[in-house]
Structure formats: structure tokens, C-alpha cells
Structure 1
């Protein structure tokens, strides 16, 4: 298992401070650059990896370290901080101490704190020359612990698994190599929304160790085992590839259906870590704009955020931590530089107003599209700001080019992280159809859905959208509505829009 250690510093780690940190491996260790200079790798004299250091990230967004690392991630003092990840190599005995020494050297020179606190080393001036790499497979990617022909396995030992730059790159590398990405965590670990979204769909998996030598899927509760032939046909072609797969009921020693009790415990009441579940408001929407040089992206998301929390987002970035202060203009410039390639981003809120979103910007034949999934956390007894949803929907239609939108609520953690246990599925509250879709369907047809409550027209007749309240009908009402409006899309409704969870 790898060990992740993070140096949180007030000053920027420069070349000399990084070099001093890497010298902790002793005079026989070698340093090489990978991923276009974004990663420094420390190896022994035989080239076997000992540790990797990722390029430092300047985090301007307040509260990001505490969100991802817990209270121990808070660094005294105000202002931005530098986040430098150190990752001990898989199977390198003593690598955890080496990672701690590297991070401790950076903090000693630059001020700040080491996370986790237990990894901080007082005798950081010493070199760690007794690290013993195993003879096992070394992978080229710094986040991948085991690489096979069909699976890339990442072992994470942190309490909150976030979509760091190198984990995001591991997802891309696995996809380009037609491999599944499987994240293995200890019991009690949680995912951020971006990681949970990235893991959507088999063969990607969240593999949780049950503490008794077994494994289960953190999103479904199904028991998993390590075996060749992960997708059921590799053995026939002679490619025996290890990967985690779902065990069949016949293979369960206790005769159950393969769902782990650990994954279903805690559906009601307090979580094991003492965190009381609250409620979440989840909005999924797509907006479309004409491709114009004066276009500024992020307006719909900012409007949603302002409506729900009373303030705009706090920060954004291409990975977690979301390092940049919220700026629609800077976000737009970044997406424009990447065009025509799509741009994926994460957006976060202020610490006292829990919120997180993923934003995907893409060029299509019809213009520029923004796909947003935003989740906001509230105490269980708090009122969700749903009374003004029709007015928000009207602004999205008339000002931001809304195509469709779905609003859901669910009982889940206020901090928006995803535990490896059953959570009550989200319930849809309302569906919104934009003016372009209404024109395609026909306004007469669109205004007469099979719902108990009539829809609300948004905007003038010539460019009308509709807000459809779903009442107590839930998913059945939504599926009936989609089947009425767009029969060709009815069968995909639940899988496309339902919020993540076990």
C-alpha cells in the first residue's frame, strides 16, 4: 500500500527546497522527472521507485485543505497555501518514513504543517537509506499501484479520496489504455463527488477492504474478489488478467446475495465517524450557447449557487483541491485555450456553505454546451431553498440558454462526501425543459403532461420553457413525463440523472 503525505506550506517550494527534500533518500538515490515535469520520482540505484513528489499547487480557495483532509488539514494563519503531495512507492518497506521526512523538510524550510500529523518527523535532517523496494511490478504512472493488461489499481489510504491531479490523470490513462480503474481503500474512507462521478459505471470500481481480508464494492455493497478474467471472457483468449470483480451469490460463504453488511449499516442515524447525516439538494442541468467570442461561461452555475447559498462559488480548478478563486472570465479563458477539446472542472463553495459541482464544457454542432451537476449540503432540520425554484428556472431559460434541468433532494451527509454504505436514493422534485426543446416538441404538447400539477410556463410564448413539479410521484412521475415528452429518452432517465450513492 502506498502512503500519501502532504506538505502544506505558506511559501512556495522552489527548486532548492524540493532538492533538499529529495536528498532524504541518501546519496545513492536518483531523481528523475515524469509527466512533463509535474512529478519528481526518487528511485534506488537499481531504478526501483521509492517515492514521488507532485508539483506544488497554490490553493487560493479558503477551506479546501480542511474539506479534503479534515480538521488536521487546517494550517494556522490566513491566506493561500501551497499543497505538495508526496507518495511513498507501493511495497517499499520504510517508504512511509521517507515520505514523512521529505514533507517535513519542506515544512521546516517554508513553514506550515505536514498531513497527516503522525507523518511529521522531528529528525528530518537524517537521510532514510534503509527503504527496501520489493521486486514487484513498478508502474510508470505515479498514482497506479498495480497495472495489468485490463486494470489499473490505485490504493489510497486517506480518509477522503479526492480527485487529485495525478488521480485524474490515472483515470485518463486507464481509459486511453482501455483499462478499468479500481480504487482500493480501507474501511471508513469516503469519496468526494468528483471521484464518485468519475467511477460511475463498470468496469471502474471503488473496492473497500472489509477489515477481515475481504473486499466489497463501496457503491453497491457487492462482495468482490481478486481473480483472473475480470470481464468473463479474457480466459477464453488466454489473457488471464487480475482485477476485482463481483462475486456471485453461490460464492458467498454465508449464502447471502453478496451484499456486505458493512455497506448497509448506518443507513439511519449517525455515521461511524460521528457525522450526522443531513440533506442534499442536487441540480443537474445543461445549457447551450451560440459560439461567440464574447461568451463568458459559468453564468448558469453562478446563478444556481447564488440562489441556493446566497453567495457565488468560492473556487474552481481542474482537480482537487480546487485551487483558484472563482472567476468566470478566467474559467472561460482556460476552456477557450483547450477548445475544441472538452474541459472538465470542479467548483467548490465557501466552508460555511457546503457546495460542490462538476462542470463540463464542450463544443458541439449546435454551439457551446455546459453540463453541470451541483450538490449542496444542509443540516437535516434546515429548510431547502426550493420555493424559488420556478423563478430560478425562468432565469436559466431566459438568460442562460437552459436545455434541461433536474432538481433532486436526498438524505445524505452535509459535507457532500460519499461513504461506503447504503444511502437513501435521491428523489426528483422538478424537471425543467428549455425553449429549444419545447419548440422541437411543440408547445401545446409540452404544456399538457400527465402530471397532477400543471407545469409553469417560463418566459414569453415565443421562447417558452416549462417547469414541471413532480410532487410525490418521484421517479415514476419523472419517467412518465420523459416518456410523454421524449419517448426515445425514457429508458435512460434514471441512469442518467439519479444522484450518486450506494
Structure 2
């Protein structure tokens, strides 16, 4: 089915063809078009739906605006693509829901079959299995993604921590930053906004998502590795110790995700994430059976090798132990 055919099929299912809402006809292009040129917007009381036929769908300015509108109106933002599209990490991490058209519909991140109820795409209550396209092999060999998420209090130079961490992981600072894709600014750690904001920073095979909200900063840094390449798991404790010594952080969780080295996501199953370790500011003891190590101002609890999802149980046990001794302090 061609790009135009699948979009017309979706619009027919949504009842949009009768309203005259039809995506622009395909036409020769020498460059990749902006997102809005290939997007058909369909609005109901429950959802705002975008149909996008790009190979890679980013968190564009148009989608970021739609997310804000949906938040204020109580709608769901649902992005519909074909099964050949991928989405970027910033879009995946947003509140948009990814719906894939392939002999029906399914949720791109979970494989859960979906159906249109006249108002919004919802889970198909009659489905008993994942969507067939979700179970198909990935288009490239599955690599790995090292993901570090930390919480801290914002500092004067809001990009200092992420710059330091990217240098440790990749040898280079971020190249650029922005609030939507493509990024608008060359990197300068002093230029990040002082207001509450969600910022994207991109480096060498790395993406960072920084969220500033009130007196807190939560940052996720992901680095992609090709199949056969080994992430620096053994070096993580020393890296975290160096980061925390120069730039205090409250906590840091390290995990390993199976996925593409370019950090985009296909609408197919690639495996489950698994924990590597948890670092917490201060001196702590773990529950029985947990080893620990001081890393400057932090305590590091190794949780697994990054390849064993069952170790999330150890993560929950450790958090329960720490919460019971710290009056529910969030990590």
C-alpha cells in the first residue's frame, strides 16, 4: 500500500473523507518536507489525530504545539504512521500516543491492537495477541542503548551536568539544543532557558532530554551502540562518581535498552530494558543481599548486567528498603 493509499484508508476509517479533510497529494520533492506538509489533522472531542508519512517522525514544533493544546483541552494527541516509520526519542518520551496502521491499528510502543471508536483510538477489547506487524523482525540488527536518568536541583548553568556526562560517555559535549526537532541552537551550557522547560540536546550518538520543573531537574541521557559494540558498563561507577563530585545530583538510575543505535524506535518488539544500577546522594546501606560502593558523595548499588529484566524486582526491593528508612524520600 502506497503512502497516499494508507492515509486515505485511515481517513476513511475516521470518517474524515466526508469532511473534505484529505492529505495533500504526493508530489516530487528534492528534500524531506516539513512535518506540517504531510500531516492531516482530525479533531474530535477526545483526540487530535495527525497522519504522518515520514520515514522518521520527530517532535516537531507543530506536534509540540498540538501537545500543549491537547493538555489544555483534555484531548489525546494521537500520531498515526505506517509500519515503516520510526519515531525519535523526544517524540517517544512525550505524551503523544503512537498509533500504527498495518492491516488495522496498533500502539507502536506496545503492539497492543487498537480501534477507532468514532472519537479516539482505543485498545481493541477483542484482541488476544500482539499485532502481527509488531512481532515482525526489526529492519536492522538490534543494538543497545545505555540510558542514565538523574534528578538534581537546577544550577546557574543548567546544561553543565549533561555536558559533563556526555563528555564522559562519548568524549564530546552536545552539539546543539532546542525544545523541538530539528534543534535550533548550537550548544552552550549557559544558554538553556531559566524558566520551566523541556529541552532536547543532541551529541555524538547521544540524546539528552532535560526537564526543568520548579526546583527540580530530571535529565535522561541515552547513548546508542551498534550490535556487537559493548556499552561501558564497567566504567559507569567511576563516571558517576566524577559527575557527582563536580555537579551534585540526588539520584541516578542506569539501565540498558535493546534498540537501534540511532536511538529511533521502530513499531516492533526489540526486547525489554534491564537495570544496571542505582546511585543515591549520601551514605546508605542496602537491604540484605545488596552490595554497595561509595562514589564520592554517592552510594552505588549494582542491580544487574543490563541484560536481565527480572532484576527490576531487585530495583523495587531496594527502593522499598530505602523509602522505609528515609520517610518516603523520592529517588
Range into which the TM-score falls when normalised by the shorter chain: 0.7 to 0.9
Correspondent of 1:306 among 150, 153, 167: 167
Correspondent of 1:91 among 9, 12, 22: 22
Q: Summarize deviations over 1:345-388 as a string: whole Å, max 9, x none.
A: 11111xxx311121112223xxxx22111111112222212222
| TM-score, structure 1 as length reference | 0.57
Q: Summarize deviations over 1:233-275 as a string: whole Å, max 9, x none.
A: xxxxxxxxx1111011xx34xxxx1411211221xxxx33xx2
Give the 3 Å change call, closer, same or farther, for CA 144–370 of structure 1 in structure 2.
farther
Distance 1:185 1:487 in 2: 45
Tell me the residue number matched to 1:468: 301
SS in 2 for 1:477: helix
SS in 2 for 1:416: coil
Give the 3 Å change call, closer, same or farther, for CA 358–488 of structure 1 in structure 2.
farther
Tell me the residue number matched to 2:62: 166
Report 1:26-45 matches (<5 A).
none
Does residue 406 of the first structure (1) align with residue 253 of the second (2)? yes
Q: Summarize deviations over 1:93-118 as a string: whole Å, max 9, x none.
A: x6544xx6xxx7xxxxxxxx5226xx
Tell me the residue number matched to 2:98: 206
Return the offset for 1:323.
2.6
Structure number with greater Rg is 1
Correspondent of 2:214 among 332, 347, 363: 363
Return the offset for 1:297.
1.2
Tell me if structure 1 keeps the 8 A contact 2:205–2:224.
yes
Q: Summarize deviations over 1:395-419 as a string: whole Å, max 9, x none.
A: 3333212011100112211111111
Correspondent of 2:277 among 430, 435, 448: 430
Give the 3 Å change call, closer, same or farther, for CA 264–487 of structure 1 in structure 2.
farther
Distance 1:164 1:347 in 2: 14
Tell me if structure 1 keeps the 8 A contact 2:64–2:180.
yes
Return the offset for 1:313.
1.0
| TM-score, structure 2 as length reference | 0.84
Distance 2:144 2:266 in 1: 14
Distance 1:262 1:450 in 2: 44
Does residue 354 of the first structure (1) align with residue 209 of the second (2)? no
Does residue 286 of the first structure (1) align with residue 119 of the second (2)? no
Correspondent of 1:374 among 221, 234, 247: 221
Structure with the greater relative contact order (CA < 8 A, sep ≥ 6): 1 or 2? 2
Give the 3 Å change call, closer, same or farther, for CA 220–488 of structure 1 in structure 2.
farther
Give the 3 Å change call, closer, same or farther, for CA 397–451 of structure 1 in structure 2.
farther
Does residue 343 of the first structure (1) align with residue 197 of the second (2)? yes
Tell me the residue number matched to 1:186: 82
Distance 1:324 1:286 in 2: 24
Tell me if structure 2 keeps the 8 A contact 1:289–1:401.
no
Distance 1:2 1:209 in 2: 11
Unaligned runs of 5+ in 1: 4-88, 105-112, 117-141, 229-241, 436-442, 497-502
Tell me the residue number matched to 2:295: 458
Does residue 276 of the first structure (1) align with residue 137 of the second (2)? no
Return the offset for 1:2.
9.9
Distance 2:110 2:59 in 1: 20
Tell me if structure 1 keeps the 8 A contact 2:39–2:52.
no
Distance 2:325 2:67 in 1: 31
Distance 1:429 1:385 in 2: 11
Tell me the residue number matched to 2:158: 297
